[in-house]
Amino acid sequence: MDQLIQLAIELVKIVVIAVVVLVFMMVAVLYMVLKLRWVIARIQSRLGPNRTGPWGVLQTVADALKLLQKEDIIPCGADKWLFTIAPALVFIPAYLVYVVIPFGRGMAPSQLAMTHSLGEIGKLPGLSIGVMYLSAISSIGVIGIVVAGWASNNKWSLLGAFRGASQLIAYEVPIILAMVVPVLVSGSMDLSAIVDKQAGGFWHWNLFQLQAGPALPIAFLMLIIAGLAEINVTPFDIMEAESELVAGFNTEYSGMKFALFFLAEFAAAFTLAAIITTLFLGGYNPPLAFLGGQLSGLAFSAVSLFWFLAKCWVLVIFIMWVRSTLPRVRVDQLMNLAWKALIPVGLVNLLLAGAYVTFWMAK
Amino acid sequence: MKNKTVIIKDIINSFVSIPKGLWITLVNWSIARPCVTELYPEQKRQLPQNYRGIPVLPVDPKTGKSRCIACGACARMCPEHIITVEIDKSDPKDRKPSEFSIDISRCMWCGLCTEACPVNCLVMGKDFELATYTREGMIYNLEDLMRLGGEFPAEEVVEEIAEEKKEESES
Ligand code: SF4
Ligand code: SF4
């Protein structure tokens, strides 16, 4: 009986954590969409949304409500079952990735699920295969995209899905090549351990570590470039290129299903920012020690949550900035960039980092 | 196949031009460039002097009436045949319209009617917010047109506009 109650408590805790993460994701996405529209508007000398609510802050909430009310159309030639399941196939991996993201010390959802008391926060290790889990789960999303394009029975959708498949598969490789470098240098796949290695001031961050030659900064650049392609924002958004493919793989989608695609896309942008922050920008560590580094226990966890979100937010704004600056590349240029530039550079870079770790790193 | 120097140039170029582009958008993003958006219902645009809004019949401030002599030139000139003029025959010494209506829904704001008017009493007004809930609401009769027309502009203004038009047609 006691064990049953224990199990029930565990289950409730996991559900609560899952819901909190989901709510966080939705709020973050709603605000990111709004911020994106503001940023792009300002860059184009416009004002952006400013009507709904004070300064237009309720604009995306209104948009979401509109999408909820919309009729859910399934085109008559579509494969109904696949058409319905595709948004979930895209959304679920984007959501699952959040399991390992260390939002603060001991605050990755996977760690929280194991924690039994407040005192334990920050003392548990993260998922030991964190980086592998990240790259594995985030590459599942492409299946949903291909399914969506195939099931829509629309040539634009299908073309978008094909492009998406080739793009995402091509860019998965440089992303992993770039993510492996900090893993090698830190000697761990556990995201929390990688972050803890970078504690101290910003000069301890992986980005500014030069003992392995330029390996880490190059990996950082590669991760940004390939990551932009992976989350398909504008310089690399060929799979939903509006001017060529209507809306790409989600042309036929409307209402809630479309909202799920949209949610997944922006959630992926946040995930990218979170991965870059964790691997290269010191994760939840404050940039200067006196900005919270002297704290310990729960207080540090709270401060670290703030720093993590702040760094992610800066990166998200940077992604928006790039997105509103660069024009879209052609399909062949995109493929060339991945196979002819990023992957060879990544391999050489990996060799460099490997050589450093094997021969020179202080044992 | 591109030769090697071109490829190296391309690579260097991309490292220079992307930060350059980012810098340009950053300058735009900062306060250096004000927004060009006009918040329409609150802020209205300054209309140019010869703006062509709805054709209206201004009132002569001396008599309090329109100067229209119901000659029907405007109705004949209108390419859309949307102006209806009926003569008030009660006083043979004072020709005036008994009925004057324009179906604005079909007007194309060409201004030919105002050019045809021999007494310059039909002018293009400045109103452009003309939406209504019914089709009949788009038909403006004599009173509406006089109300929208307001006071007759001073002779000098009329002449100025005529002068401008003349210059335009000559150039
Ligand atoms: S502006 Fe042109 S279309 Fe309109 S009433 Fe005058 S002549 Fe007719
Ligand atoms: S042309 Fe002028 S004067 Fe003649 S009917 Fe029209 S508005 Fe009246």
pLDDT mean over A205-222: 80
Name the DSSP letter for residue A51: S
Number of the ligand closest to the Cα of B125: 1
Interval A221-250 mean pLDDT: 81
Q: Looking at residues A5-32, what average pLDDT do you find?
A: 88
> What is the 8-class DSSP label of residue A328?
P
Task: Read off the pLDDT band of A362 (50, 70, 90).
Answer: low
* Total Cβ atoms within 10 A of residue A279: 28
What's CA A177's distance to the chain center, in Å?
A: 17
Strands (E), B71-165: 83-88, 96-103, 123-124, 139-140
CB pair distance less than 8 Å for B28 and A322: no
pLDDT at A347: 92
**Higher model confidence: residue B149 or residue B106?**
B106
Q: Closest residue (by CA) to atom 3 of ligand 2? A: B68
Q: From the CA atom positions of chain B, what is the Rg in Å? A: 27
- Mean pLDDT across A260-265: 86
Cβ-defined contact of B22 to A325 (cutoff 8 Å): yes
Residues A148 and A86: beta-carbon distance below 8 Å = yes
For residue A289, what are its two tokens? 């020690």
Is B37 an 8 Å CB contact of chain A? yes
SS3 A52: coil
Cα separation of A283 and A315, whole Å? 12
The pLDDT score that the predictor gives to residue B159 is 67
Q: Which stretch of A156-160, A218-222, A320-324, B162-166 has the lowest confidence by average pLDDT?
A: B162-166
Could you tell me if A229 and A268 are in contact, meaning their C-beta atoms sit under 8 angstroms apart?
no
Q: Is A62 on the interface with B (CB under 8 A)?
A: no
Q: Which residue of A36, A37, A39, A45 is the best one to mutate when testing the B interface, meaning the one whose CB has the most B CBs within 10 A?
A: A45
Rounded mean pLDDT, A138-145: 85
Query: Of A39, A47, A321, which is closest to B37 when you measure between CB atoms?
Result: A47
Nearest of B130, B129, B145, B116 to residue B55 by alpha carbon: B145
Q: State residue A119's pLDDT score.
A: 67
Q: For residue B122, which atom of ligand 1 is closest to its CA?
A: 6
> Binning pLDDT at 50, 70 and 90, where does residue B9 land?
confident
Average pLDDT value for residue range B59-73: 82
At A306 the pLDDT is 85
The protein residue whose alpha carbon is closest to atom 8 in ligand 1 is B78
Tell me the C-alpha distance between A205 and B158, whole Å: 74
Q: What is the mean pLDDT of residues A15-41?
A: 89
The 8-class DSSP code of residue A168 comes to: H
Mean pLDDT within A213-230? 86
**Mean pLDDT, range B45-65, rounded to an integer:** 81
- B80 C-alpha to center of ligand 1: Å? 7
Distance CA A180, CA A218 (A): 12
- When pLDDT is averaged across residues A206-216 and rounded to a whole number, the result is 76
Q: Which of B8, B25, B42 to mutate to test the interface with A (most CBs of A within 10 A)?
A: B25
Q: Which two tokens stand for residue B90?
A: 């009660």
State how far the Cα of A194 lies from the Cα of A182, in Å rounded to an integer: 8
Q: Strand, helix or coil at B149?
A: helix
- DSSP one-letter code for B154: P
Interface check for B22 against chain A (CB to CB < 8 A): the answer is yes
Going from the N-terminus, what domains does chain B have, and what CATH number goes with each?
Answer: 55-154 (3.30.70.3270)
The predicted pLDDT at position A211 comes to: 73
Taken in order A52, A56, A57, A62, the sign of the CA dihedral is positive
User: From the candidates B1, B29, B43, which should be mutated to test the interface with A, based on the most A CB atoms within 10 A?
Assistant: B29
Task: Using pLDDT thresholds of 50, 70 and 90, give the confidence band for residue A134.
Answer: confident
pTM above 0.95, yes or no: no
| Portion of chain A with pLDDT greater than 70, in percent | 95
pLDDT (average), residues B80-99 = 86
- Three-class SS string for B36-79? CCCCCCCCCCCCCCCCCCCEECCECCCCCCECCCCCCHHHHHCC
The tokens for B104 are 């604005």
Q: Which of A56-65, A148-157, A351-360, B160-169 has the lowest mean pLDDT?
A: B160-169
A332 touches chain B (CB under 8 A): no
- Domain with A241, as residue range(s), is 2-361
SS3 A138: helix
Residue B96 pLDDT exceeds 80:
yes
Residue B157's pLDDT is: 60
Name the average pLDDT for chain A. Answer: 83
Check residue A165 and give left, alpha or beta (phi > 0: left; psi -120 to 50: alpha).
alpha
> Does B24 contact chain A (CB < 8 Å)?
yes
Total number of domains in chain A: 1
Give residue for tokens 């045949």: B81
Closest residue, chain A, to B25 (C-alpha): A43
Report pLDDT digits (tens) over A267-317. 888 988 999 988 888 878 887 777 666 777 777 778 888 888 888 999 999
d(CA B114, CA B111): 5
Once rounded to an integer, what is the mean pLDDT over residues A253-263?
84
Spatial distance between the Cα atoms of A298 and A117, rounded to a whole number of angstroms: 11
ipTM for this model:
0.72
Across A170-184, A287-301, B72-86, least confident range: A287-301
Ligand 2 binding pocket includes B8 (Cβ within 6 Å): no
Q: Which two tokens stand for residue A334?
A: 């995109």
pLDDT at A209: 76
Task: Report the pocket of ligand 1 as residue ranges, CB < 6 Å.
Answer: B 55, 77-80, 82-83, 102, 107-113
For chain B, the first-to-last Cα distance in angstroms comes to 55
Across A339-343, average pLDDT: 87
Looking at ligand 2, which atom is closest to the CA of residue B75? 6
Mean residue pLDDT across chain B: 82
Best CA proximity match to A220, nearest among A102, A87, A349: A349
User: Which residues in A334-347 are b (16+ Cβ under 10 Å) and which e?
Assistant: bbebbeeebbebbe
Q: Tell me the shortest Cα–Cα distance from A61 to chain B, in angstroms.
A: 22
- Contact between chains at A325 and B24 (C-beta distance less than 8 A): yes
Lowest mean pLDDT, pick from A156-160, A205-209, A353-357: A205-209
Q: Give the residue from A24, A128, A153 showing the smallest Cα distance to A76.
A: A153
Contact A42 B29 (CB under 8 A): yes
Q: Is B112 in the pocket of ligand 2 (CB under 6 A)?
A: no
